[in-house]
Each structure stands twice: as C-alpha cells, then as structure tokens.
Chain A
C-alpha cells in the first residue's frame, strides 16, 4: 500500500455505520483512498487521574512513532475526553504537515451540554472534526472563512457554524 492514502483507526467502540459515513466524506474531501480499521491500545497508559482525562500529546506521539506509516495520513479516532497540558480539553489535534492526528467525539455529543441526543448532529460534528484535523496533516492552518471546515473551533457551536468542506482557498493551498 505505497500509494498516498488516509487511514482512520478507531480506538474503543464506534458504530460501524458512523465510521463508514465519516470515511466516505473524508474520501470526498481529499480525493484519495480512505481505509479504516480497529486499533488496540491500552488507554490507561495515557490517562491522567488528576484531570480524569487522556493526554492528547502522548496519544499523538504514540500514534506517530508506533502506528503511522510514511505513505499515509493516519488519524486516531477516540471516544474519550482528550486534553493537552495547557488546555482544559481538545476536540482533536494533529501535527501540522505531519502524518498523524487524533480526534475524539467525547465532547461533541449534545448530552455533554445537557441537551437531547442528536445522532445526526453528532455525526456531522465528528466528520467535520476528522476532516479538520486531517487538513492540518496536509499543512493547512486555520482559515478565516466562516464556512470553511478549517475554521478554528473552540466549542461545539463553532463546529456547527461551519460546513464540512474545504474552501477554495484551502483547496488551492493544498494543491500547492
């Protein structure tokens, strides 16, 4: 599998239909083969009991050194609460122009904010987050266009404001 492609690896339980939809949308955006598989990782190694969250920096580093390959952009999908030392939480993160990223749907569900569950909205948010983090691995920085998926999102309502597509400017930047 030497051709440039994207690999999505799920850690923990994910509904198969959700992953299929996400993979399909990722393929549409980046026009390259997308594969997905289940990964196995003892997440307790990355757990911070004081914060009761999982260390995103350590997970990203592990993914990069142990799992990723040079021919693929690899994104780890998680359902646990992620943090980095300086921030209270993250939806995901990626190495800019690197080969790995991570995304979590933990904070994307309506239930976390005292609202009724909405599976469709959850799927939309997660898809956007996955496409966003993959964008960073392709060297894209945050975009100022409100509808662009590369727009920075620091809370879920931000994610809802943008679309799941890359804007023309970001597409051009990727081609370069």
Chain B
C-alpha cells in the first residue's frame, strides 16, 4: 500500500458506524462516517474517498440510489453495499449499477478484511497504472526532425552531445522552427527517456495560473480548487520539463523558478509540505534573452542557470536545401493520415517553395503542404494548389478589391500574421488593417 486508503462509511445506525470506524482505524485507514446518503453525497463534493461502504436501507435516499449518484460523479469510486436484508435481486441490481461487492450484515471479520484488502489492492494497481500511463503517454519519437543541411546537422550533433548530460538547455529560434521537437529529441535520447517529458507553454498562462501549473496546488488553495493537483515539476520527477516561451514569465516567477532550479524543492500553492523532484530543464524562446538581461527584463542569475547549453535552430530560409526533404516528409505524413497514396509534387511548385522566405518557418511549410493535399484535386501537387501562388497564377484578380485582398494576404503570411509588422509594411495603421482583415474574412491557413 503506497498511500493511506480513505474509507467513507454510510449507515443510519450509529452502532454500525462506530463499529466499522473502530475496526478500520486500527488498520490505519483514513475513515469518515455519514449518517445518511445526503450527508455522504455532500461530503463527496468536497473530498474524495477510495472506498465507500454504504448501507442499502436508509431513510430518505437508499443505498442503491446513492450508488448510482456516486458512480455518476466519480466512476472509479469503489462502493461496497451492505444490508441486513439480503435478496438476490438487490444484490444483482447493486452489482449492475457498479458496486464493487455486496455483503450481508453482520459480516465475518475475515470476510471484511479480505474485501477491503482486495479493494485496496485494486486502488493501488489503479494508482500504479495511472502513473505508468502518464509516463508512457509522454514518450515521443523524434522522426519529425528532418534535414540534411549543414545547419540542421550541427543542431542534431549538439542534441546528441547534450542528451546524455543533465545540463540545462536553452533552445532559441524563430517561431515555427521546431524548438519543441528539439526538446523532445534531447529527452528521447537521454537516460531520462523512460520518464515523462512535461511541456509547459509559459506564454499561454497568466502568472497565477502558471504558478499553480508549475508547482501544483492544495485543495482550497483558491476559489475553484476543489481537489489537490500535482504541478508540472512534480510530474516531471525523474524526467524532463520543457518550458516554452520562457521569456514571457514575470519577474516574480523568474525568482520562484530560480529557487526551484537551485534546490529542486518547492511547495504546492496553498500547501506547506516541501516536495522534492528530480527533473532536467529545457527552455525555449524566440526572444533574445541576453538582450533582455541587458534591458533588465530577464534576471541575469536565471539566464546563466538556464543557459548552460544553447542550441540555436536556424530559420528555414537559411536552410532552403532542407525544403524538398521536408515537403516529401509532410506529403507522406498527411497522405498516410488521410488514407491517400503519396502524391508527387510538381517541380515548378517545389522550386517556388524554395524561393519563399517562410516567416512562419517549418510550421508554415507544413501547413501549406497539408492544405495542398486537402484541397488539391489532381494526382500531383501543383503550383495552383499552393496558397501563395493560387491567386497570382491561376485566378488573376480583376477587381481592385481582389488585388487588395491578395496583397494583404501575402504580406500577412510574410510576417507570420504579426499585425504590427504587416501594418507597417503596408503603411497603414493597425485599425485599418484589422478592418481589412474583417472585410475580406482573412484567416491564417491553419485556422481554416
């Protein structure tokens, strides 16, 4: 038994509750009692019990109805129903409704011990299964790392060298270059590969949410914290934690993070128990952290703690020789997932792709290929199937509006939908650009 099993006894007879309470407390279980189904259900709203031992005949709601409600709230609850008036029908009904077992009062002490031991064994196996699942789900392969350019070969060489160590790594590179893939590659080739790789997208969370996400929280730590929750650092025990968009975290979180990285100890939000976790840190950012340190927006001590090894991924425009391989890979990937035979790509289309600047990098290329496979009608991917060329080559615009729409679309793609940069390039203000996007119903390729 790895943790203290909790038992809730629900019976309207005080002597039964007291007897069972004394019996289980001597066996070192955590025990609570409820005198009727209503009280029990209200207790179950605020806390979880592993085993619920419930009488069938109770005033008000009977044990069978309570069993159905408990199962509706938490399917995995182990409910053992007990009654002094055994009938085959009620026993069958209880088991059909999901009861773990059915016992007739009074029980033989040995039967009760066996029953609870079996339930505890099931709980222990279920806990173990959950932990293993968490670990297995995180195990990833790195087949998406494609390229033969000198730049990408250098990155892969760095991955290989750094994987075996325990050093912190910062991965830098523009948006869409595959920073998370590199983090996965480092983890998958490290001695920690059989333990979880836990990813946290720091930029997507507010400061308080990030704190709770990283450190976990205790029940009642804040409004809505109904149950305690493990944090990402705790989940990454023996494995790796990947902190994406590290440059976005607040100064307060930078201090917290530095302390955790130095001690590998932390306390859940609203808790006081210190938790130790053995994890490796990999961070990623598309910002210039060194510059942020100079500006005073990123702590220098944290920067040096994280920047033991720096892996920089070059943008796609600096390794255009990888484009044919990447295109071939994405065609195979999407055709397989759509149950289509792999489509060849027209040489003209491929040449055009090699000429593009790809501000959105590999992610943009991937989206283009996927779109071409989805909407392309032929047995080959052609120039007209690629979104950048469609309006220019096959459907020459006739109206002024069409020209404007196409031009805005191209500039948006060029600047990866960065509104400020696109507006600046078009020499209009941001509000005008937003109005045009709305007018022409323009959307990013991946949102379509």
Contact = CB atoms under 8 A, between A and B. Distances in A.
Q: Is the A/B pair a real complex?
A: yes
Interface in B81-131: 105-110, 112-113
B348 interface: no
B109 A88 contact: yes
Contacts of A86: 15-16, 19-20, 23, 105-107, 112
Contacts of A152: 26-27, 113
A68 interface: no
B15 A57 contact: yes
A50 to B, nearest CB: 11
Contacts of B107: 86-88
A84 interface: yes
B15 A141 contact: no
Contacts of B16: 85-86
A142 B15 contact: no
B23 A87 contact: yes
Please classify how large the interface on chain B is, using the bins under 10, 10 to 19, 20 to 34, 35 or more.
Answer: 20 to 34
5 contacts: A84-B22, A85-B106, A86-B106, A86-B112, A142-B26
B264 to A, nearest CB: 30
A155 B16 CA distance: 21
Nearest to A158: B110
A104 interface: no
A5 to B, nearest CB: 23
Contacts of B109: 87-90, 154-155
A96 B113 CA distance: 18
A136 B26 contact: yes
A87 B15 CA distance: 11
Contact of B112 (A87, A93, A155): A87
A125 B216 CA distance: 50
B13 interface: yes
Contacts, number: 60
Contacts of B110: 154-155
A83 interface: yes
B18 interface: yes
Interface string A143-159: 00000000010110000
Given A85-B19, A96-B22, A141-B28, 8 more contacts: A86-B20, A87-B19, A88-B106, A88-B107, A96-B26, A141-B27, A154-B108, A154-B112
A96 B27 CA distance: 11
B13 A85 contact: yes
Contact of B22 (A89, A93, A142): A93
B39 to A, nearest CB: 19
A82 to B, nearest CB: 11
Interface in B6-34: 13, 15-16, 18-20, 22-23, 25-28
Nearest to A83: B106
Interface in B105-159: 105-110, 112-113
A95 B22 CA distance: 8
A169 to B, nearest CB: 12
Nearest to A56: B19
Contacts of A142: 26-28
A93 B16 CA distance: 15
Interface string A68-108: 00000000000000011111111001011000000000000
Which of A86, A88, A142, A154: most chain B CB closer than 10 A?
A86
A130 B332 CA distance: 76
Nearest to B109: A154
Contacts of B22: 84, 93, 95-96
A136 B19 CA distance: 15
Interface in A42-65: 57
Contacts of B113: 152, 154
Contacts of B15: 57, 84-86
Nearest to A53: B106
Contacts of A136: 26
A87 B108 contact: yes
Interface in A122-168: 136, 141-142, 152, 154-155
A87 B111 CA distance: 10
B117 to A, nearest CB: 10
A154 B108 CA distance: 9
Interface in B199-215: none
Contacts of B26: 96, 136, 141-142, 152
B19 A84 contact: yes
A84 B23 CA distance: 10
A113 to B, nearest CB: 14
